[in-house]
Amino acid sequence: MLRSRALLGAIALTLISSPATFAEEPDSTHADPRHAAHEHAAPRGSDHAPIGVMGDHRHAQGEVMLSYRFMRMDMNGNRDGSSRRSATDVRRDFPVAPVDMDMEMHMFGGMWAPTDRVTLMAMVPFVRLDMKHITRTGRRFVTRSKGLGDIRLSALIGLYDDETHHVHLNAGLSLPTGTTTAKDDTPAGRQRLPYPMQIGSGTWDLLPGITYSGRREAWSWGSQVRATIRTDRNRHGYRRGHDWGVTGWLARDFGSWLSGSLRLDYADTQNFSGDDDEFMPAVVPTADPNRRAGRVLSGLLGLNVVVPKGPLAGHRLGLEVGIPLVQHLDGPQLERDWTATLGWQYAF
């Protein structure tokens, strides 16, 4: 209940930050101020949010944008609540302790605007996961999984636009295209890997959200509230936890082609519902569905570059790196150390 109230409050705050969110939709016979303002201006780095934010902007009718992002997250060491726990400490309670995990994702995206008000978006991820472990006897081993993740389809629906402020609804659906049966060799033989090493959710998930952005001269800013609502348990008998988050950014142009940004991101993930009978939560904490929740506040720095002219005019590059400022985990579970996103975008 408290989390639901917090989500509703964050959505309300985002709506209030735009002075006319619920104003009448602009007359379709007049140019959308968002696009009219750009018709006579060269593209700027800060026209888009930091590269780590997805679904942040819409396009003019008929416009297409292709994108690619490479994302990496490093998790090293365990945490329970707000306190760190050593691998030795974890092995007092479990025969096996995770010690390190690397996640890499290649995200291919496409956007197309059938109208000025609506932009359709598809995101196709390819994921690689590596996790290192140590047993009570000191034996070390690594498990790996990789493959297609859960594909996301979304519609970005404009609610309000003027020369400074823009608000749109994010309405998305996650398809269960990622595997939930990844296996690898372990000291106990070839086994189905625990929850964090499975690439997909195995469920159809709803992806609601709302995004606000604004600009004045060299400065731009924005915020986004997002959520993932799991609709049912998968065929293994469990449902990943619902999650929600809110992010806000401030960016400044340094010339027409370069911008820098600061961003805060808060993510809240709940524990799983149900469990997979094949897993043994008494052996390793990653197999426990009640040790998956956590709340993380991260700070991120970003750069956006847009090529102003020449054969690559209009191509964009973005880089964003971040570290957790505060994290509280239902552990022991691996804590986040840092994240990085490098991306390319091109609209035509």
pTM of the model: 0.87
What is the DSSP code (8-state) at residue 46? G
Rounded Cα distance between 35 and 26, Å, is: 13
Q: What is the pLDDT of residues 151-176, one digit of tens each?
A: 999 999 999 999 999 999 999 999 99
| Residue 41: pLDDT band with limits 50, 70, 90 | low
Cis peptide bond prior to 332, omega within 30° of 0: yes
For residue 29, is pLDDT > 50? no
Rounded Cα distance between 235 and 81, Å, is: 31
| Residue 43: pLDDT band with limits 50, 70, 90 | confident
Residue 342: CB atoms within 10 A of its CB come to 16
Rg (CA), the chain: 21
What is the DSSP code (8-state) at residue 42? -
| Residue 27: pLDDT band with limits 50, 70, 90 | very low
pLDDT for the residue 126 = 98
| Residue 45: pLDDT band with limits 50, 70, 90 | confident
Q: What is the pLDDT of residues 53-73, one digit of tens each?
A: 999 999 999 999 999 999 999
| Residue 248: pLDDT band with limits 50, 70, 90 | very high
Q: Average pLDDT, stretch 123-142?
A: 97
Pairing mode of beta strands 165-174, 219-230 = unpaired
pLDDT for the residue 5 = 45
pLDDT for the residue 191 = 94
Q: What distance separates the 2 farthest-apart alpha carbons in the chain?
A: 73
Contacts of 309 (CB under 8 A, 6+ apart): none
- Terminal CA-CA length for the chain: 45
Q: What is the pLDDT of residues 190-214, one digit of tens each?
A: 999 999 999 999 999 999 999 999 9
For residue 4, is pLDDT > 90? no
pLDDT for the residue 200 = 97
Q: What is the pLDDT of residues 277-317, one digit of tens each?
A: 999 999 999 999 999 999 999 999 999 999 998 999 999 99
Among residues 300, 341, 319, which one has the least CA distance to residue 45? 319
Q: What is the pLDDT of residues 73-117, one digit of tens each?
A: 999 999 999 999 999 999 999 999 999 999 999 999 999 999 999
pLDDT for the residue 26 = 39
Helix (H, G, I), strand (E, B) or coil at 5: helix
pLDDT for the residue 23 = 35
pLDDT for the residue 24 = 36
| Residue 13: pLDDT band with limits 50, 70, 90 | very low
| Residue 256: pLDDT band with limits 50, 70, 90 | confident
- CATH number corresponding to 2-347: 2.40.160.40
Contacts of 19 (CB under 8 A, 6+ apart): 165
Judge contact between 200 and 178, C-beta under 8 A: yes
Task: Name the burial class of residue 288, with classes exposed (0-12), middle (13-18) and buried (19+) by CB atoms within 10 angstroms of its CB.
Answer: buried
Residues for the chain: how many in total? 348
Phi, psi values for residue 159, rounded to 5°: -110, -35
| Residue 228: pLDDT band with limits 50, 70, 90 | very high
Judge contact between 240 and 271, C-beta under 8 A: no
pLDDT for the residue 10 = 47
| Residue 14: pLDDT band with limits 50, 70, 90 | very low
Break the chain into its structural domains and give their ranges: 2-347
Q: What is the pLDDT of residues 113-130, one digit of tens each?
A: 999 999 999 999 999 999
For residue 324, is pLDDT > 50? yes
Among residues 237, 294, 288, 296, which one has the least CA distance to residue 270? 294
Among residues 109, 38, 43, 49, which one has the least CA distance to residue 318? 49
